[in-house]
Structure 1
Amino acid sequence: MSAMDTDEVSVVLPSTTQSGLSLSLHPLPILNVSEHLTRLKLQRNKPEPFVLGALLGTQNGREVEIVNTFELAIVDDSNDLVDHEFLVSRRDQYKQVFPSLEFIGWYTVAPRPTARHIALHEQFTGYCSTPLLLMLTPTLALVSSADVNAQTLPFKAYEPTIELRDRKSRSVYIEVPYNVETGEAERIAVDWTARGGGSGTSLESHLQTQRSAVKMLHERILVLVKYVTDVIAGQARPDHAILRSLAALAASLPASENKYFREEFDTEYEDVQLTAYLSSLTKSSNILNDLVDKHILMTAGKEERGGPRRRMGRQGAPGDWDRFH
Structure 2
Amino acid sequence: MDTDDLPVVLPSSTTSGLSLALHPLPILNISEHLTRRKLQTDSNSPFVLGALLGTQNGREVEIVNSFELAVEESDADKVDHGFFIIRRDQYKQVFPSLEFIGWYTVAPQPTARHIKFHEQFTAYSSTPLLLILQPSSPSTASTSDVTAQALPFKAYEPTTEIRDRKTRSVFIEASYSVETGEAERIAVDWTAKGGGGETSLESHLQSQRAAVKMLHDRIILLVQYVTDVLAGQEPIDHGTLRSLSALIASLPASENPAFRTEFETEYEDVQLTALLSTLTKSANTLNDFVDKHAVLTSGGRDERGGGSGGPRRRGMSGRGGPMGGSEAWERFH
Corresponding residue to 2:42 among 27, 45, 49:
45
2:93 matched to 1:96? yes
- Could you report, residue by residue, the CA deviation over 1:164-217 in whole angstroms, capped at 9, with x for unpaired residues? 01111110000000000111110111011011089999xxxxxxxxxxxxxxxx
Gaps of 5+ in 2: 200-333
Detail structure 1 runs of 4+ shifted over 3 Å in the superposition.
Answer: 76-79, 197-201
8 A contact 2:22–2:176 mirrored in 1:
yes
Distance 2:107 2:139 in 1: 14
8 A contact 1:76–1:82 mirrored in 2:
no
Distance 1:137 1:162 in 2: 24
Distance 1:139 1:22, change over 3 A: same
State the match for 1:127 in structure 2.
Answer: 124
State the match for 2:83 in structure 1.
Answer: 86
Deviation at 1:139, TM superposition (A): 2.2
- Could you report, residue by residue, the CA deviation over 1:122-144 in whole angstroms, capped at 9, with x for unpaired residues? 11000000000000011222879
Deviation at 1:18, TM superposition (A): 1.1
Deviation at 1:77, TM superposition (A): 5.8
State the match for 1:176 in structure 2.
Answer: 174
Deviation at 1:54, TM superposition (A): 0.2
2:41 matched to 1:36? no
State the match for 1:186 in structure 2.
Answer: 184
Q: Tell which structure's C-alpha radius of gyration is larger.
A: 2
State the match for 2:57 in structure 1.
Answer: 60
Aligned sequence identity (%): 74
Aligned pairs for 1:18-37 (under 5 A) are: 18-37=15-34
Aligned pairs for 1:128-207 (under 5 A) are: 128-141=125-138, 151-196=149-194
- Specify which structure has the bigger relative contact order, considering alpha-carbon pairs within 8 angstroms and separated by 6 or more residues: 1
Gaps of 5+ in 1: 1-6, 202-325
- SS for the counterpart of 1:47 is coil
- SS for the counterpart of 2:65 is strand
Distance 1:101 1:141, change over 3 A: same
State the match for 2:67 in structure 1.
Answer: 70
Q: Name whichever structure is richer in helix by fraction.
A: 1
Distance 1:27 1:83 in 2: 27
Distance 1:12 1:77 in 2: 29
- SS for the counterpart of 2:64 is strand
8 A contact 1:192–1:198 mirrored in 2:
no
Q: How many residues align?
A: 192
Please provide the CA RMSD for this pair.
2.5
Deviation at 1:26, TM superposition (A): 0.1
Distance 2:48 2:179 in 1: 24
8 A contact 1:29–1:66 mirrored in 2:
yes
Distance 1:79 1:37, change over 3 A: closer
